[in-house]
Amino acid sequence: MSINRFLDYITHEKKYSKHTCVAYEKNLTDFRDFCIEHFALENIEDADYSPIRAWIVSLVEMKNSNRTVNRKVSVLRSYYNFLLRTETISISPLKLHRPLKVSKKVNVPFSPEEVDRLLDSDWFAQNYEGILQKTIIGLLYYTGIRRQELIDLKTNAVDFETNSIKVLGKRNKERIIPLLPDAVEYLREYLSLKKELVAPDATHFFCLSSGVKLKEGFVYQTVNHYFSKVSTKAKKSPHMLRHSFATHLLNNGADLNAVKELLGHESVAATQVYTHSSLKRIQEIYAKAHPRGKK
């Protein structure tokens, strides 16, 4: 079946994460079920645009946002592009499709003051879980790594001789991120306590006191819970710490390409998402630096 071939392709050749592959499979299965129920069409590789259009209408009627609908259709587009490359089909049914309009979403990062207020506070319990939670928040902010990258860190990921951390990013792309002294101290304190309380055969750097690998929900709840104490921003998630990391670096004059490498982005275009928050700072620098601006 073409769906299985496509899933094998994104899993083994494209090296998509397990989470992404599961999401792709669900989207394709949902569309196939819709085609069977409404069009008596079992092989979605034979679909034209009609069932796709009907599926989009049904998704909108089910109160899915335009952004969500576009994401689901994007999975279909990837699938049909795969069929084109493998010469299974000669034309994509989505060739003339245009995405639904979406309003530009701007997420406001945490301010440096909010981060300082939290990391300098005494809200973290002086036990294993408290030290673990503080280290999680600290490392997310000091390095800008993704939540899944933090969860997947191995026990040998941190090099205290070079004060750096080895991260395995999307598509198994490895990168080295330098650590500031404060981040090193967080990691040393956590690791010292971990060696005392956790089973020595724990394979992941971060784990619960039982030695079990962290779950995505634990990391999210940790960030959300503690930032609720210092911030009234609507979104308080691990990704917002990554957003804050990038924005604060750019606000302080960091080179865009350097930030791109730290974040593990494939292109500068992905990093430029974070420059909107730096626009005011960029305008100030521009006004001060330009000969006519000085007047």
**Residue 98 falls inside a structural domain:** no
| Same-domain pairing of 116 and 81 | no
Find the CATH number of the domain harbouring 21: 1.10.150
| Same-domain pairing of 187 and 266 | yes
Residues with active-site annotation: 146, 170, 239, 242, 265, 274
| Same-domain pairing of 161 and 234 | yes
Structural domain ending residue among the three candidates 47, 66, 85: 85
204 - beta bridge partners? 154
Query: Which residues form the domain of 35?
Result: 2-85
| Same-domain pairing of 164 and 265 | yes
Q: Is the pTM of this model over 0.85?
A: no
Which pLDDT score, from 0 to 100, does residue 267 have?
82
How many residues are recorded in the chain?
295
**Residue 43 falls inside a structural domain:** yes
Two tokens, residue 72: 């689901």
Two tokens, residue 106: 């701007």
Which pLDDT score, from 0 to 100, does residue 89 have?
95
Q: Divide the 295 residues of the chain into consecutive groups of 10 and give the mean pLDDT of each group.
A: 92 88 96 96 94 96 94 96 95 94 80 95 95 97 95 92 92 90 95 86 88 94 97 92 92 87 85 66 64 62
159 - beta bridge partners? 164
Sheet holding 164-168, edge to edge: 158-159, 164-168, 174-178
Which pLDDT score, from 0 to 100, does residue 284 have?
65
Which pLDDT score, from 0 to 100, does residue 79 have?
96
Alpha carbons within 13 angstroms on the beta-carbon side of residue 34 total 17
**Residue 232 falls inside a structural domain:** yes
**Residue 34 falls inside a structural domain:** yes
Structural domain ending residue among the three candidates 67, 85, 103: 85
| Same-domain pairing of 74 and 149 | no
Find the CATH number of the domain harbouring 248: 1.10.443.10
How far is Cα 73 from Cα 102, in angstroms, rounded to an integer?
A: 14
| Same-domain pairing of 81 and 118 | no
**Residue 238 falls inside a structural domain:** yes
| Same-domain pairing of 117 and 248 | yes
**Residue 105 falls inside a structural domain:** no
| Same-domain pairing of 119 and 256 | yes
Which pLDDT score, from 0 to 100, does residue 290 have?
64
How far is Cα 249 from Cα 62, in angstroms, rounded to an integer?
A: 41
168 - beta bridge partners? 174
Which region, left, alpha or beta, applies to residue 289 given φ > 0 means left and ψ of -120 to 50 means alpha?
alpha
Which pLDDT score, from 0 to 100, does residue 197 have?
86
**Residue 103 falls inside a structural domain:** no
| Same-domain pairing of 240 and 278 | yes
**Residue 99 falls inside a structural domain:** no
| Same-domain pairing of 227 and 122 | yes
Asked whether 31 and 76 are in contact (CB, 8 A), the reply is: yes
Asked whether 191 and 204 are in contact (CB, 8 A), the reply is: no
| Same-domain pairing of 177 and 57 | no
Two tokens, residue 197: 């309380």
- Structural domain tally of the chain? 2
| Same-domain pairing of 131 and 210 | yes
